[in-house]
Amino acid sequence: MKNNYEIQGNDTLIFMDYHGLKIITIIDTEDLSIAKSFEGKWYPYYNKKTKSYYTYGCSKCSLVQLHRLVMGNPVGLIIDHVNHDTLLNKKHNLRRVTNAENMQNLVRAYSNSKSGILGVTWNKQRNKWECQIVIAGKHLYRALFNELEDAKCAMESARKDLLPYSS
C-alpha cells in the first residue's frame, strides 16, 4: 500500500486524495496487514448511483475494493455497509449478503424514480401510487394510494415492520 495511514488504537485511518479533497477511509487495525498487502495506492471512487465514496485500488489492470478485500472477497456475495457509511470499512459495519438482501438495505430511491421514495412507483394502469416490498419474488407488501404522501407514510411504516435492516 502506497497511502499514508495513522493507527489510532483499534482504528486505522488511510488517507486518500480525490481532486484535491483529502478523504479518509477507516479499517480495523487488525486488518492493516490486508490493506498493506495491496501493492498499489487506495483511491476514493464516487458512485453517482449511491451518492457515496468507496475505496478502490488499481493493480495490474484490475480493480480491488477495500471492503471486499477486508471481508475475504467472497464469490457470489456482496459486501454491504450496514450503516451506509461506505468509507467505514471496519468489520462491524460490513456483512456478506446476497444481492436481494443488499437491495433491502437501500436508503433512498434511485435518481430516476418518479416518486423519489424507495418502493413507491406510479401505476399507469390504475392511475395510483403503488407501494411494494418484494423479497425473493414474493410480495410481502403491496398497496395503492391516490396521494403520494399517503404512499410515503405507508411505505415507511411497512419497511420498518418488515425489513430488519431498513433505516
| Whether domain 106-162 has CATH 1.20.5 | yes
Summary mean pLDDT of the chain: 86
Domain coordinates in residue numbering, the chain: 5-100, 106-162
In the predicted structure, residue 166 carries a pLDDT above the cut 60: no
Task: Show the DSSP H helices in the chain as ranges.
Answer: 32-36, 66-70, 99-103, 148-162
Whether the CB-CB separation of 151 and 116 falls below 8 Å is answered with no
Q: Residue 65: is its pLDDT beyond 50? A: yes
What distance in Å separates the CA atoms of residue 117 and residue 13, rounded to the nearest whole number?
A: 34
Q: Under a CB-based contact definition with an 8 Å cutoff, are residues 130 and 123 in contact?
A: yes
Of the spans 7-11, 129-133, 141-145, 162-166, which averages the highest pLDDT? 7-11
| CA distances from residue 3 to 17, 22, 122 in whole angstroms, order as listed | 9, 12, 47
pLDDT tens digits, residue range 104-159? 666 666 666 778 787 888 999 999 999 887 766 677 778 899 999 998 888 888 87
